[in-house]
Amino acid sequence: MKVMVTGGAGFIGSHLVDRFIEEGHDVVVVDDLSTGKKKNLNKEAIFYKVDIQSSRLHRIIQKERPEIISHHAAQMDVRKSVDDPAFDAKSNILGLINLVECAVKNGTRRIVFASSGGAIYGEQVTFPASEDHSTHPLSPYGISKLSGEHYLYYYQKICGLECATLRYGNVYGPRQDPHGEAGVVAIFAEKLLKGEQATINGNGMQTRDYVYVKDVVEANMAVINMKANDTFNVGTGIETTVNQLYKHLLEITASDLKEIHGPEKMGEQKRSCLNTKKIYKDAEWEPTVLLREGLENTVAYFKEL
């Protein structure tokens, strides 16, 4: 089967490319390398350096004719979306529309869309949040991801395109960029290993559902060939405060740096945690990597850089 992965040189996308190739699929990677890295590219994949907003995308999809597209290319930084909502919308909404139009016109059967459970629900009312929780995103990033889901619903109903949406928790692990993708685990791990002081935003009591990248890849594999058009949370159902996360990383890195707090950031939720019973029931997926193990693997990766 031929699979296209947009954002395939990025953090999650590159791990997914590796997994598809391991399964014997033909893989095409589309990435403009604005945040993705050449070193993440699998040599067995066909690579096109192109922005998903580009008119070139049509020619690429017309040539390659992917049966399935895994869409991970995106503006991923919540804070950047707050600073520049228009830039976020161009990438995450207009880029998606361009991609899906090309896909529909060239026979793509299915799209798996990387959405955000961490940003779409807004300040949660119930914990953990199931997929039918109200959606009141507090950032332009969350709004653009929710808009993407609505556009895919339209293309599914009007054009017959199969769509699966995965609402990720806070994904972490090897290859996460501590500079470009705003991943707190990567930021803390790199700073602590270098002996540099990390700053916790606000009081550090904000919670997130941290899910390891290997588990996220397996969630993608679980839904890639499903016929169902549906939306699934991908997380652990466990809340972890930023303070708890920092303490874990202090211990793993054997750092004696103290806990320093800075001002709160606009657009950040207070609590986030995802219910994953639906994907377990429908696709038999559940997370297997505990937080401590995943953090140890991530720190080991940064030590080797």
Query: In which residue ranges of the chain is pLDDT below 50?
Result: none
Strand 230-234 with 46-49, pairing: unpaired
Residue 141 is a catalytic residue: yes
Among residues 48, 121, 141, 212, the one annotated as catalytic is: 141
- If residue 11 lies in a helix (H) or strand (E), which one and from where to where? helix 11-22
Q: Where are the domains of the chain?
A: 2-170+210-235
Check if the beta carbon of residue 250 is closer than 8 Å to that of residue 193: no
The listed CATH number (3.90.1150.10, 3.90.1720.10, 2.60.40.10, 3.40.50.720) that belongs to domain 2-170+210-235 = 3.40.50.720
pLDDT for 182 equals 63
Model pTM score: 0.96
pLDDT for 228 equals 81
pLDDT for 180 equals 60
pLDDT for 77 equals 87
Check if the beta carbon of residue 92 is closer than 8 Å to that of residue 73: no
